[in-house]
Amino acid sequence: MKPGERPPEFFGSSGLKIGVIGCGYVGLPLALRFAECGHHAWGFDTDPEKPAKLHAGQSYIRHIPAEQIQRLVQCGRFSATSDFSKLREVDAILICVPTPLDERREPDLSYVEQTALSIRDHLQPGQLVVLESTTYPGTTEELVLPILEQTGLRCPIPSEAGDQSVTPDFYLAFSPEREDPGNARYGLANVPKVIGGVNPPSLAAAQALYAQIVAKIVPVSSTRAAEMTKLLENIFRCVNIALVNELKMLAFRMGIDIWEVIDAATTKPFGFMPFYPGPGLGGHCIPLDPFYLSWKAREYDFITRFIELAGEINTNMPYQVVEAISQALNRHKKSVKDARVLVLGVAYKKDLDDLRESPSLKIMDLLIKRGARVEYNDPYFPKLHRMRHYDYSRMQSVELTPENLGAFDCVVIATDHSAYDYQMIVDSAQLVVDSRNATRHVTRNRDRIALT
């Protein structure tokens, strides 16, 4: 198909072929949403197990029902593959691959780069490519665009003189994913979608496409503005969580209940938004994304002090929990060394089956290094495996019976899963260190609880 045969309005048509690269937490729901809205969605993933599972109608993400996958596979609206040559057949290509930090905590764009190279090898005139992975401002134009233009096809950035008349050979845009896994109220359909195009036709094409699956589109002037928007949102969360974590530590020292204070402040109908303290940041986004911007800022001789400070405070939180455990055991005339400690919740967030960057893993590691005998329970992880930083491959979730709970010197609430019976936990345990205020409704045996 020639570019002229896919003008921007073409992407407002029904029955499009959409390729989503990366069938993870972000890409899979996105592909399924396009399929639900009457398009033909292809999921592409380098991990061959994922297409195989999806074809078998299986889900590997807890909040995505297998029945939905089965239904869409059977009616021919959704399919998955590791064969990237099929990218030639699609109208639009959406990139949802990981953007982690490397060993030196610098942006690791190797997945985005690898994906851009795969697209380059199959790029067709008139295709729309959208990067959705979170990244620093400039990635779409400075990394993805030059690779795609190695094909000889052009997607020109309008010159500063304002020449916007050039028709691109393909379209390129950035639109950040705002997925909040496990959020029952806000999902793909009702969260506005921010979009920036490399040029006006690219923006128009991406707007036409996404308008079919989301209620509201928010166009911005450039891909860089769209990339920065996502980072602002996540840095806002990161900084505010750090602020409340710091105030929590002060409040404890002053004998003030920080959760009571937050609840009271939240009654102000304007100018305040609650953030809650916890054992540290987790997940693939908030602990990592801000450092994409601080890294890029260095190119401009700029130090992002809020990001650095927030990172310092949040990184320290697991250490602070371990210190609280140590003090609580001390009150029971016990030391951390040789204490039996049960950590409740290894997922980074309540009711999720996601371990990425979970502070629970760090707390367990610190306790083990101090000589504690650590075990865990998590309804979503019957056993653990070897990870990049930790080897918990021999650990299995301890059954939560009153007898088992009572056998530990200390029970630590690291993740406040809804499935836990907190009154039973407190009634059965000798000592509970609660980093989430999960025991706020517990009425009996409150003297066994140490909040942190």
Ligand X SMILES: NC(=O)c1ccc[n+]([C@@H]2O[C@H](COP(=O)([O-])OP(=O)(O)OC[C@H]3O[C@@H](n4cnc5c(N)ncnc54)[C@H](O)[C@@H]3O)[C@@H](O)[C@H]2O)c1
Rounded to the nearest 5 percent, the helix, strand and coil shares of the chain are 40, 15, 45
Residue nearest to ligand X (CB): 24
Q: How many residues does the chain have?
A: 452
Q: How far is the CB of 49 from ligand X (least distance, A)?
A: 9
Give the bridge partners for 173, in sequence order. Answer: 130, 197
Long-range contacts formed by 428-431: CB under 8 A, 24+ apart? 428/401, 428/402, 428/403, 429/405, 430/332, 430/406, 431/328, 431/329, 431/332
Residues 111-140 that bind ligand X (CB under 6 A): 111, 114-115, 133-134
Q: Which stretch binds ligand X (CB under 6 A): 22-30, 85-93, 259-267, 308-316?
A: 22-30
Whole-number Å distance between alpha carbons of 452 and 320: 8
Among 99, 202, 222, 314, interactor with ligand X by CB under 6 A: 99
Whole-number Å distance between alpha carbons of 313 and 72: 45
Among 3, 8, 51, 98, interactor with ligand X by CB under 6 A: 98
Residue span 260-289 as binding mask against ligand X, x where in contact by CB under 6 A, dash where not: ------------------------xx----
Q: How far is the CB of 283 from ligand X (least distance, A)?
A: 6
Report the SS3 class of residue 284.
Answer: coil
Among 181, 219, 278, 287, interactor with ligand X by CB under 6 A: 181
Whole-number Å distance between alpha carbons of 198 and 226: 11
Whole-number Å distance between alpha carbons of 74 and 235: 41
Among 23, 128, 129, 342, interactor with ligand X by CB under 6 A: 23
Q: Which of 23, 96, 238, 285 is catalytic?
A: 285
Among 141, 169, 179, 409, interactor with ligand X by CB under 6 A: 179
Q: Which stretch binds ligand X (CB under 6 A): 51-59, 73-81, 96-104, 163-171?
A: 96-104
Please indicate whether residue 37 is annotated as part of the active site: no
Residue (of 109, 47, 43) closest to 81 by Cα position? 43
Count interface residues toward ligand X (CB under 6 A): 26
Q: How far is the CB of 28 from ligand X (least distance, A)?
A: 8
Give the bridge partners for 194, in sequence order. Answer: 218
User: By C-beta, is 22 or 201 nearer to ligand X?
Assistant: 22
Q: If you search the block for the tokens 């380059």, which residue do you land on?
A: 120
User: By C-beta, is 132 or 141 nearer to ligand X?
Assistant: 132
Residue 54 per-residue DSSP state: H
109 and 295 in contact (C-beta within 8 Å)? no
Q: Which stretch binds ligand X (CB under 6 A): 147-155, 174-182, 336-344, 421-429?
A: 174-182
Among 19, 22, 287, 290, interactor with ligand X by CB under 6 A: 22
User: By C-beta, is 169 or 179 nearer to ligand X?
Assistant: 179
Q: Does 33 bind ligand X (CB under 6 A)?
A: no
**Crossing angle of the two packed helices 223-254 and 289-298, in degrees rounded to 10:** 110
Q: Does 45 bind ligand X (CB under 6 A)?
A: yes
Q: Does 24 bind ligand X (CB under 6 A)?
A: yes
Q: In which region does residue 437 sit, left (phi positive, over 0), alpha (psi from -120 to 50) or beta (all else)?
A: left
Whole-number Å distance between alpha carbons of 140 and 98: 15
Could you tell me the CA-to-CA distances from 176 to 95, 287, 449 in Å, in that order? 10, 17, 41
Q: How far is the CB of 115 from ligand X (least distance, A)?
A: 4
Q: Which stretch binds ligand X (CB under 6 A): 173-181, 182-190, 203-211, 296-304?
A: 173-181
| Nearest-5° Cα angle at 374, 25 to 399 | 70
User: By C-beta, is 49 or 67 nearer to ligand X?
Assistant: 49
Which sequence positions are flagged as catalytic? 285
Q: Which residues bind ligand X (CB under 6 A)?
A: 21-27, 44-47, 50, 96-99, 111, 114-115, 133-134, 177, 179, 181, 284-285
